[in-house]
Structure 1
Amino acid sequence: MAPRRGVYFLANDYVLDRAIAFLNSFRAHHEALPICLIPFGDDIDGLRRLQSYFDFTIWSGDPALLAACDDLSRGFHGEVKGHYRKLVAWEGEFDEFVYVDTDTIVLRDLSFVYDFLDTYDFVTTVSDVPDHFKWVWRESVHGAGVLTPDQIAFAAGTQFIASRRECLRFAEVRPRLDAALALAGHMALVTLEMPLLNYLMVTSGRPYTSLRRLAGAVGAGGPPPGDIPQERWAGDPIGAVRDGHLLTPWSPPIFLVHWAGMWWELERGDRAELPHGDLWSHYRRLGGLDVT
C-alpha cells in the first residue's frame, strides 16, 4: 500500500494573512495534495472558516500531546512558545510528510522531496552553512562533549522538514528530553524550537540531510545539482517578480521563498518594508479572499 502523504503547517489567527498567502501559493501548485493545520494556539476560529476554501484538515490527535509540547517550551523558555508544537507532525495522519513554516511562499511542486525519504529519514532545505551556525548553537557547544563536529555543523533550518511518522514519535522523544535540556545553555534559543529539533535529528541514529547538501553531492549517484530545487531567504536577492513568478532563471531552481525573522522585524519597527513584498502580496491577493 502506498504511504499516505501530506503537508503540515503551523498557524493561528494572529498570522491569518500570512497563512492565506501561504495557502494560496501552496494550492496554486498542489491541487490535491492533503494539507493539515497544526494549531499554534487555541485562537484558530478565523482559520477554521477557511478550511473548505483551501481544503485543509486540522490536526486532531491527542490534545495531551499539544500540552506536552507546550510544557517542553516552558522547560526551555519559561513560557509557552507554540513553535514546539511542530513535534506533533510525527503523531499526525500522514505516513510521509513535509512540514512548512507559514511565512513561506511556495513557487513550484514540492512533491519531489518525498523521493528522498527512500534514503533519508529527515530532509531539511538548508544545512551546513557556517553563517547559520549562530541561529542553532552557541560556540560553547564545541566544548560540551555531547555532539560530534559533523552533528554540530549540520545546523539545519527547521522551517521545512520532510520525514516519516515513525521517525520521531513523542514516546521516543520523552526519554531524550533531559539530555536536550541539559544542553540548553549551548543552544541559540532565540530561534525557539530550531536547536531542539536539530539535536533530536542528529542524535536520532537515523540518516539526515538537506537539499543544500544533496545539491552539492556531485558524483554521489543522485541527480545533478541543478536538478534539485532549493529554498531562498527573502532577505537575499531573488530577481524580478511578475504575477507570482520569478523572472530570473535560477539553477538550482527556487521552490520556496522564506521570510524568516522579517515579520518580527516589521512588527518591532526594525524594518520599513517586507523584502520582495510584491511576491508575497500577489499570493495574499490571489483569489480575492477577504477576511476582514
Structure 2
Amino acid sequence: MSQELTLGVYFSANDVVYDWTIAFLNSFRTFNPDLRLILIPFNEQCDRLLQLQERYNFEVYIDPSFPRLEAIGQAFELGHTPTGPYWFRRYAAFWGPLNRFMYLDARQVVLADLKPFIEALDQFGFDFIHYDCAIDQVYEPGVFRQELLRQGRGRGFNSGRWATREGLFSLEEFEHLAAEALKIRDQLNPRNTDQAFINYCCDMKPVCYGHFAEVIGGICHTGWARQPRKIYQQDGKYYLWDYGGLDHKKQLFLLHWAGHPLNIFMPHRSVFCNFFFRNEPISQYLITYLYAVFEYLVNNPIEVMRKNRHINTLYHLVKRTISL
C-alpha cells in the first residue's frame, strides 16, 4: 500500500449514546493508539461528546452534504424511526479526508488493531469489505431479492462496520441510486433504512465487496454480542470459545450490541465494563452498577410487555387504526 494514502476510522455518535461511546473510545485507543479517528456527529446533540475530543484524540468531520444525505434518509423513512435520516450522515465518509477507512457505529468495542483490516482492501483487491450479514434486515422476500441472489449478490451486510475507499460513491451518485431504490421501496426492509440503502448501492453499482472473515481468515464470522458464546483473552487478543462451532478459537476483533439496550443483563457485559470503566475508580463502577440495577427494575416490566406477542400486536393494530 502506498505510503501516501491516509488511513483511519470514522465513527458516528451523539450524547444519547455517550456511555456506549466511552467504552468504544477506550477500546479503540487501547488497540489503536495512533490510528486517525474522526467523528461524524449523528446530529446536533453532541455537547458532552465533543468534550472528549482531546482526551481520545479524535477529529470532527462536518460536511455541507449532511442535509442532502438526510433528505435521502427522510425519503426512505416509513415512520418507524424518527432519527433514521441522521444515520445517512455516515455516508459523507466517501468524500471525506481519509483515502482508505473503516466506518464503525459507537455501540461496539474494538478488540484488535484495525489497520490490517483497512489495508486488506488493497491487499486483496476489494472496494468494500463488511462484517455481519442478515439479508432479512436488508431485503424483503420477493422477486428483487431472488434476482440479486441468482446473480451472486445480495449479501445483506450490516451498515455499522465496514471498510472501503474514498470516492467509491459520490453524493450525486447516491441521490441517483436513491431515486431508483425508492421505486422498489416495498422490497426493502421497512425499518433499517440506511442499511437497505448502502446494500442496494453496492449491489446496483455493483462494487467488489466481501466479508472480513472470508477475505482475511482466522477471525470470527460475526461479532454480534447476543450470540451465546464464551469470549476469552490470550496473548493480548480476544478469542471465541465456541466448541463445535465454526468460530471456535478464532479471533474476535469487534463486539457489537446492535439492537440490544445497555443494561445490567446485556450479553458480555463484562467486556463492555472492562473498557467503560478503564481508568475509572471502583466507586464509579459501583455507582453505575447500582444505577443499572435500578434502571432495570423500572424498565424491565415495560420491556417485557413490549415484547409480548399479544400486547405488541394490539399496539400496532391500534397505531394503524389511529393513522388511518
**Alignment partner for residue 252 of structure 1, among 247, 250, 253?**
250
**Using a 3 Å threshold, how does the CA distance of structure 1 residues 209 and 144 change in structure 2: closer, same or farther?**
closer
CA contact (8 A) 1:61 1:91 kept: no
Shift of 1:111: 1.2
Distance 1:31 1:102 in 2: 17
Q: Which runs of 5+ in 1 are unaligned?
A: 216-224, 267-271
From the superposition, tell whether residues 155 and 143 of structure 1 become closer, same or farther in structure 2 (CA, over 3 Å): closer
In the superposition, relative to structure 1, how do residues 151 and 183 fare at CA in structure 2: closer, same or farther (>3 Å)? farther
Tell me, what secondary structure is at the counterpart of 2:253? strand
Alpha-carbon distance between aligned partners in 1 of 2:94 and 2:181, rounded to the nearest angstrom = 18
Please state how far the C-alpha of 1:239 moved relative to its aligned partner.
1.2
Identical counterparts, % of pairs = 25
> Matches of residues 4-19 of structure 1 in structure 2 within 5 Å?
4-19=6-21
Is the contact between residue 12 and residue 39 of structure 1 (CA under 8 Å) also seen in structure 2?
yes
CA contact (8 A) 1:125 1:212 kept: yes
Per-residue deviation at 1:169?
Answer: 1.7
1:27-56 Cα shifts (integer Å, max 9, x gaps): 000010010111110011111100000000
Secondary structure in 1 aligned to 2:186? Answer: helix
* Cα distance in structure 1, aligned partners of 2:130 and 2:30: 22
Q: Distance in 2 between matches of 1:151 and 1:186?
A: 18
Separation (CA, whole Å) in 1 of partners of 2:162 and 2:183: 25
Deviations 1:97-123 (A, max 9, x none): 100111111111121112321101110
1:72 CA displacement: 1.1
Instruction: After superposition, give the CA deviation of every residue in 1:10-33 in whole Å (9 maximum; x if it has no partner).
Output: 101000110110010000000100
**Corresponding residue of 2:303:** none
Please state how far the C-alpha of 1:175 moved relative to its aligned partner. 1.7
Measured at CA, do residues 229 and 109 of structure 1 come closer, stay the same or move farther in structure 2, by a change above 3 Å? farther
Matched, 1:239 2:230: yes
Question: Cα 1:164–1:248, aligned 2, differ >3 Å: closer, same or farther?
Answer: closer
Q: Residue in 2 aligned with 1:222?
A: none
Matched, 1:281 2:270: no
Determine the structure 2 residue equivalent to 1:212. 213
Q: Which residue of 1 aligns with 2:318?
A: none
Alignment of 1:163 onto 2:179:
no
Q: Does 14-23 or 71-80 show the bigger shift?
A: 71-80
TM-score by length of 2: 0.75
Residue 185 of structure 1 and its aligned partner are, at CA, apart by 0.7
CA–CA distance in 2 between the matches of 1:230 and 1:33? 24
2:83 paired with 1:85: no
Q: Is the 8 A contact 2:239 2:250 kept in 1?
A: no
CA distance in 1, matches of 2:204, 2:131: 19
Asked if 1:263 is matched to 2:261, the reply is yes
- Separation in 1, partners of 2:240, 2:129: 26
Aligned partner of 2:193 in structure 1 is 192
Shift of the 248–134 alpha-carbon distance from structure 1 to 2, 3 Å rule, reads closer
1:50-89 pair list within 5 angstroms: 50-62=52-64, 65-77=65-77, 79-81=82-84, 82-89=86-93
Do the aligned partners of 2:127 and 2:164 also contact (CA within 8 Å) in 1? yes
Describe how 1:81-230 pairs up with structure 2 within 5 A: 81=84, 82-118=86-122, 119-127=125-133, 132-142=134-144, 147=148, 149-150=150-151, 152-214=153-215, 225-226=217-218, 228=219, 230=221
Question: Relative to structure 2, which stretch is displaced further, 147-156 or 118-127?
Answer: 147-156
**70-79 or 44-53: which moved more?**
70-79
Flag the 1:178–1:144 CA change in 2: closer, same or farther, 3 A.
farther
Tell whether the 8 Å contact from 1:241 to 1:279 is kept in structure 2 after alignment: no
Give the CA deviation at 1:233: 0.8
The alignment partner of 1:254 has SS state of coil
The answer to whether the Cα contact below 8 Å between 2:126 and 2:209 also exists between their aligned partners in 1 is yes
**Any conservation in 1 of the 2:238–2:251 contact (CA below 8 Å)?**
no
- Cα RMSD (Å) of the superposition? 2.6
Unaligned runs of 5+ in 2: 242-247, 289-324
Number of aligned positions between the proteins: 268
TM-score for the superposition, normalised by structure 1: 0.83
| Change over 3 Å in CA distance of 1:45–1:114 after alignment to 2 | same
Larger radius of gyration: 2
1:218 maps to: none
Deviations 1:126-185 (A, max 9, x none): 34xxxx22111110244786x453455411112211011110121221222211111211
